[in-house]
């Protein structure tokens, strides 16, 4: 398990590396939970958008059961948004 501060550093590192080789590529994060304090991750040379993947409120067991479908649905919606704007 990655701690939240280490996960933020990891995400920031991936975003910075992506922007170094493809400055205009959008960096989008799909997360199981988006909490407070994410504003510091947004930057023109970092992360462009963060989306929570769970579809609605649910208990942990249901969230784990639905995770694959929730991630797929969120990813498809993000892809549709990118396609619609290009």
Per-residue pLDDT of the chain (86 residues; tens, 9 = 90+): 456 778 888 888 999 999 999 999 999 999 888 877 788 888 888 899 999 888 888 899 998 999 999 999 999 999 999 899 88
Residue range(s) defining the domain that contains residue 72: 4-84
Domain count, the chain: 1
- What pLDDT digit, counting tens, does each position of 60-69 carry? 999 899 999 9
Instruction: Please list, in sequence order, all residues whose beta carbon lies within 8 angstroms of the beta carbon of residue 55, skipping any fewer than 6 positions away.
Output: 66, 70, 73
Q: What share of the chain is helix, strand, coil (3-state, %, to 5)?
A: 55, 10, 35
């Amino acid at each position: 398990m990655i701690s939240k501060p280490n996960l933020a550093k990891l995400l920031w590192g991936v975003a910075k590396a992506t922007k170094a080789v493809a400055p205009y590529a959008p960096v989008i994060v799909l997360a199981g939970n988006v909490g407070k304090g994410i504003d510091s991750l947004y930057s023109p040379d970092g992360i462009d958008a963060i989306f929570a993947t769970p579809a609605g409120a649910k208990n942990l067991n249901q969230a784990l059961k639905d995770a694959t479908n929730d991630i797929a649905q969120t990813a498809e919606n993000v892809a549709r948004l990118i396609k619609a704007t290009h």
